[in-house]
Amino acid sequence: MLLSIQNLVVRYGTDTALDIREPIVIEEGDRVGVIGSNGAGKSTLIKSVLGLLPYQGVIRTGLKPEEMAVHMQFNEYTDAMPVRYIMEAVLGTKIARDRKLQELIAFFEFEDCLRKKYSRLSGGQKQRFTIIMVMMQDAALTFYDEVTSGLDFETRQKLVEKLVEWYRGKRESFLMVSHYYEELDQLVDKLLILDKGLVIDYGNKEELFRKYCGRAVIVVNHSEGNERLLSRFRKLDAPAHLIAVSCESEKTEQEITGLLLENDVNYKRSNNDIEILYTNAKNRSKEA
């Protein structure tokens, strides 16, 4: 066990920002995605674990402080010198003599940025700079808070691909806060779903998908014609412009897809749509 959280309560004045009652356990090799709307308590969770906020409850870890690393949503560095000197000063090493640092700089294609000052870096370059600094700590557990926030789609995708490649086959664990569901689908194997400071659910993302959505989901554009066509199948909660149908069995899926193909309707099949999973988990918790 790397980290265990139980009966954790964080308050801002009289408002409860986070209330975790059942145990949340992170093991070696876990890749945990934290999802929820604004104000759900995602960043509050990270700050609490790191001891940056007062809390009530129990947080247990066998890790030393230096065995945990964090990438916060907003980072600022001095503009008095090129970033290579900031990197060397903060990390206490020299690029020319540090093979691991050289490897990270090359892996994240940061060589041409070393001579720039921090304010001259693009949003994606700033994120890569900070990720290099975080990864140099060789932490057993790393926290990423909105690591791709504010980046355009192409830059976000390239950065996520780099993170996927870097962590492939490694035993390091991380907890990642993000509101980009498609990125979490590529990076994580567990999900912690928060809503207004409360835990809706926590567990393996495939198991959570089956719990709230079924074996698979078929998604089509919303229209009256598609509503009529799919009227006898179980609908899931979905964004207003879409219709999502649950496929509880292979037979049901074949029936639905056959009907859609017969009527020339474009569709998407998924067994890991995190946005639809989140929407249905949240709405079911409100009904309970």
Query: What pLDDT score was predicted for residue 102?
Result: 97
Q: Name residues of the chain where pLDDT drops below 70.
A: 73-74, 288
Give pLDDT tens digits for 201-231. Answer: 999 999 999 999 999 999 999 999 999 999 9
Structure token digits, residue 18: 């986070």
Candidates 143, 130, 123; CA nearest to 65 is 143
Query: What pLDDT score was predicted for residue 75?
Result: 73
Residue 145: what are its φ and ψ, rounded to 5°? -110, 105
Report how far residue 123's alpha carbon sits from residue 119's, in angstroms, rounded to the nearest whole number. 10
Query: What pLDDT score was predicted for residue 77?
Result: 86
